[in-house]
Amino acid sequence: MMKLFLFAFTVLLASSTVAQDNLQVTPEQIDFLGITNPDKLSAASKRALKWPNIGNEWFIQFDTQDLKGDLAYEEGVVRRDPSAMIRENGKYYVWYSRSTGPSQGFGGDVENDKVWPWDRCDLWYATSPDGWTWKEEGLAVARGEKGAYDDRSVFTCEIMKHDDLYYLCYQTVKSPYTIRVKNQIGLAWSKSPDGPWTKSKEPILSPADNGIWEGEEQNRFRVKKKGDFDSHKVHDPCIIPFRGKFYLYYKGEQMGEAITFGGRQIRHGVAIAENPKGPYIKSPYNPISNSGHEVCVWPYNGGIASLITTDGPEKNTIQWAPDGINFEIMSVIKDAPHAIGLNRDADNEKEPTEILRWGLTHEYRTSNYQVIRRFSSRRVQHHTAKGEVAK
């Protein structure tokens, strides 16, 4: 009885202590978190007490596997950044960035060399009956003519089907591909997943125009003013029909990008339109994430879920926003694949991560050449030792 009294008294003391932090502490929380002295809470314990009680339905682990057919690794050919897959005509379709030959970086002749693996790319597509064995069907969207905003490279695309039309949004670069070049986002549409595709004459989204470079040297870290989070580049576009409008999620890179305690200073934003072809207006709430790299978003439970990887203090998390803008962390994961292409044919409302059960990703075989692979995931609800029976 005395021990029970002392425990209750300790919890009461803790409640008054953490009241200044707006925390409501229960004996169950103290027990679950293994806190030794509720009246002496470390900063870590205070953060833990603020965690949402969301269980483990958002926590998953990943594996990757080789593909068969034309998307198997081919020396000398870059295939990367797969789009989401859609199922049409009894088969899966995927679009991706494709280029050939090695890349030289910015140390060579940027006018004539290939700078990066995603430089001098066109968008190709492939089909598969089962998601394992793929047939490369050929060119979908090519680079523009000399002088066009997309004359150097079109890459990192995403597919959306709406009202019997197919839309491909993608990154663009205009030549020459210099360090300070400003990447933009283009759009193409078609009545068939097999094309032909009509391209937008102008970008549908451009970087913010409020940063100021310092000097004339091709150095992206020298700035007088950094500007908005997307003052240098807008990347990794993905259009999602949401609440009767079209939400264009994208990655922003800032002029004078810094390294912070989460790594590279990369963030996501959203632009919204009444029509798939635009005009897209950037949200006044941008940036909507302080972390991430390639955009990976899907509808779930009336809101939008997002897989945040690679960069920033909230990297390696799955987040969800009921309004598609104000995201909260739902789980912290590890070893997420890069540049995920989701399976849009999945029942994404079955559970939060159902759409991540399998899809496509890319992997670096060398610094010059990447290959598209398949990923799979599984929910992890219990931790058991070898030979132990799970609950």
pLDDT digits (tens, 9 = 90+) for 143-196: 999 999 999 999 999 999 999 999 999 999 999 999 999 999 999 999 999 999
pLDDT digits (tens, 9 = 90+) for 221-242: 999 999 999 999 999 999 999 9
**Quick one: pLDDT at residue 391?**
62
**Quick one: pLDDT at residue 23?**
74
**Quick one: pLDDT at residue 54?**
73
**Quick one: pLDDT at residue 22?**
64
**Quick one: pLDDT at residue 7?**
42
Per-residue pLDDT tens listing for the chain (391 residues): 434 433 443 444 444 444 446 677 899 999 999 999 999 999 999 999 988 877 889 999 999 999 999 999 999 999 999 999 999 999 999 999 999 999 999 988 888 999 999 999 999 999 999 999 999 999 999 999 999 999 999 999 999 999 999 999 999 999 999 999 999 999 999 999 999 999 999 999 999 999 999 999 999 999 999 999 999 999 999 999 999 999 999 999 999 999 999 999 999 999 999 999 999 999 999 999 999 999 999 999 999 999 999 999 999 999 999 999 999 999 999 989 999 999 999 999 999 999 999 999 999 999 999 999 999 999 988 888 888 876 6
CB contact at 8 A, 360 and 374:
yes
| Cα–Cα nearest to 80, from 376, 377, 378, 367 | 367
Q: What is the pTM of this model?
A: 0.92
CA-only gyration radius of the chain, Å: 24
**Quick one: pLDDT at residue 390?**
67
**3-state percent breakdown (helix, strand, coil) of the chain, nearest 5:** 10, 40, 50
Domain residue ranges of the chain, discontinuous segments joined by +: 2-49, 60-379
Q: Per-residue b/e over 51-78, b at no fewer than 16 CB within 10 Å? A: eeeeeeebbbebeeeebeebbeeeeeeb
Q: Is 19 helix (H, G, I), strand (E, B) or coil?
A: helix
Mind giving me the DSSP string for 172-233? Answer: EEPSS--TT--BEEEEEEESSTT---EEPSS-SB---S--EE-SSSS-TT-EEE--STTSSE
Tell me the C-alpha distance between 270 and 242, whole Å.
12
Task: Give the architecture-level CATH label for domain 60-379.
Answer: 5 Propeller (2.115)
Pairing of strands 91-100, 358-364: unpaired
